[in-house]
Amino acid sequence: MDRSSHARPRGFAPAVALAAAAALTLAGCSSSSGGKKADEEGGSGGSAGKANTPRMTVALVTHQAPGDTFWDIVRKGAEAAAAKDNVKLVYSADPNAGNQANLVQNAIDQKVDGIAVTLAKPDALRGVLGKAEKAGIPVVGLNSGLADWKKLGLMEFFGQDETVAGEALGKRLNEDGAKKAVCVIHEQGNVGLTQRCDGVKNTFEGAIENLYVNGTDMPSVKSTITAKLKQDGDIDHLVTLGAPFAMTAVQSVDEGGSEAKVATFDLNKELTGAIEKGDIEFAVDQQPYLQGYLAVDGLWLYKNNGNYSGGGEQPVLTGPAFVDKSNVKAVAEFAAKGTR
């Protein structure tokens, strides 16, 4: 989207105070923190004060699969920003791209003041995002879709360059002396996950292959990884793309009688403990709390002061950063609160 001749992104509403949005109900799967509000969660992070700007409604629509606790951290960050900014946050999610597009349409129909959306399968959201632009609703991207957010007309993007993150992990495998690795993809068609594994391949000097598992069925994930390890005793490293899958991979290593080491993308409190114990070598942290926080805060700033991070041209990167035994204690304190 060409913004060179515009003071603000094309098609978006001007940054003026709007009337408070009507009550909004969005159907969809949500994280285990459910309907808890930010002030009920304790660990969602405090704020120095609350904005006195007019109440606005923001819809956060992700591709979260049921049981994936990664999104609890994203949501806590979004809730913390919403509490500070006098924002009513409505969260909905569905891993099916068509259903996710319907959730975005629901938000448009309810005339929300802003939408924050993940772009795991960007082509499926192209049409509905065009409708949001025509309706004058500003949209920002987070977590997935760094390569596509500008093409789809989004105002800002907050997340990690997944290819760069994968390349960094591949280099780390070389440093650790890895010779044969498996990259475990828990959701087929998710461009961000594919980019991670492709990035690892770009820099890893050993042999590597992708292993597809059904991320919504953890017993199946464990049995598939275990079978792979039993089939190929030369595998010395497993690379998983989410903290819950890393913890399951540790079980697979034990059950498969393998000596393979586990490295992963993303964190949670259980995983930091596993790094401290040595069960997991390291994690690549993309700071999901920050992604949720910045997405909501970015919409508030745009509406109330005409700001857009990165000038509408560059993404705001939240990662990658390595967490291993050398620094895990400093991170674990925050992970225990559910914010890292």
Residue 7 lies in a domain: no
Q: Domain containing 251 — which CATH number?
A: 3.40.50.2300
pLDDT greater than 70 at residue 253: yes
Q: Any idea what the Cα angle at residue 93 is, between residues 88 and 96, rounded to 5°?
A: 155
Residue 235 sits in the same domain as residue 153: no
Domain count, the chain: 2
Are both 269 and 298 inside the same structural domain?
A: no
Mean pLDDT on 10-21: 33
Whether 149 and 202 share a structural domain: no
Residues 6+ apart with CB under 8 A from 124: 97, 98, 100, 101
Per-residue confidence (pLDDT) for residue 23, from 0 to 100: 33
Residues 178, 232, single domain; the answer is yes
Give the pLDDT mean for 247-264.
97
Confidence of residue 78 (pLDDT cuts 50, 70, 90): very high
Q: Give the pLDDT band of residue 48 (cuts 50, 70, 90).
A: low
| Predicted structure pTM score | 0.81
In angstroms, the first-to-last Cα distance of the chain is 33
Residue 339 lies in a domain: no
Query: Is the domain of 130 the same as that of 66?
Result: yes
Whether 34 has a pLDDT exceeding 80, the answer reads no
281 and 177 within one domain: yes
Examine the domain organization and report whether 173 and 191 are in the same domain: yes
Residue 246 belongs to domain spanning: 162-285
Same domain, 124 and 265: no
Same domain, 175 and 258: yes
| Predicted local distance difference test score (pLDDT) of residue 208 | 98
Q: What is the pLDDT of residues 137-151, one digit of tens each?
A: 999 999 999 999 999
Say if 15 falls within a structural domain. Answer: no
254 and 230 in a single domain? The answer is yes
CA distance linking residue 137 with residue 19, whole number of Å: 14
pLDDT of residue 233: 97
In this structure, are 281 and 170 located in the same domain? yes
Q: What percent of the chain has pLDDT over 90?
A: 82
Asked whether residue 323 is assigned to any structural domain, the reply reads no
Q: pLDDT-based confidence at 60, cuts 50/70/90?
A: very high
